[in-house]
Structure 1
């Protein structure tokens, strides 16, 4: 398999942290992006590049674009939107600022990073967005997660729209709606809840899908869940 140039957001912990390592160990070049880049930097892996990155900062988005142009000859093969923000509060208590913080990361950040990078991706490139079963119409919903779940619904729709808009030129766009994975974010949403699916196991699935899913899917939402939540 040819070496791919891969950008992953939300790599300081959980699925993103594991995913960056899997890609790197398989010989691919990875740009790992997160506000706290120290955990991934401490790996000292030759195939992993990282710097502190805030999805909400224009200068940080420009830094990513500059890196791709200068270090990767202006091309990206795979873009994985994994960064996520969550607030667990009753609907009536969520502040406007908390709502905006969740949407800035989960929706606006995806939108803006796509705008910066899609022109640098080949026809057979693949954009994978990580959503949640909480964002899927008709799935089980849980109190306290209105901001998070509604934001995850928004990126499902965004994926479908982009797949249509770019269907002639590429890349492909797909979204994975994950069920419960044993991560710190799961504990924020459901304190004390435990599930058998580890971050590493889910990262392996996303790795395989990112490399091969665009051969079979475009503009699709796939439910990846064996539990409720």
Structure 2
């Protein structure tokens, strides 16, 4: 069981968010994001009907509730499955930003490949990834508690019991990553999410490196500048 102060606020936040009027994802992406092209020389849609056909049908299964994060060239929205009412987090990445360099293409491909192979109680699950001619989408489990950083800023500092609790779950998550040969390389409070019960979910594997072994030595300087 997670910490009570996290759990109560999480459920209240999730309840408030669920009452907001949803926006159809297909409409949102087609009207606001669909104007971006995958490559500079990609042909434009010749009609509204042709543009509509470019919207992946899987987007129509979802309704956007709100934007929950923006970073770099991507953003993450909270979405709701129309049939089941289940929430998910949808990461939206414009292909225009992916094709800026070979390094960007490699990193996003590695992120999807690595994340799709992970399965652990303290790691955000990647349910599926799909694309349209203009965007890449990664559907993940929704963590109602938000970022650990937000709670740290709210309370100032954690007591010993809470600090040990979260440090233990983070350590177990990182230990699992290493057992799978994955070096995370982006450990920070913003990437430690909390589920509805207040438990840790490690997220964002865009800087991760696979192929870690006991004798591996990585010499590149990678991570978030602020840390």
TM-score range, shorter chain: under 0.3
User: Which structure dedicates a bigger proportion of its chain to strand?
Assistant: 2
TM-score in terms of structure 2 length: 0.25
TM-score in terms of structure 1 length: 0.25
Which has the larger Rg? 2
User: Which structure dedicates a bigger proportion of its chain to helix?
Assistant: 1
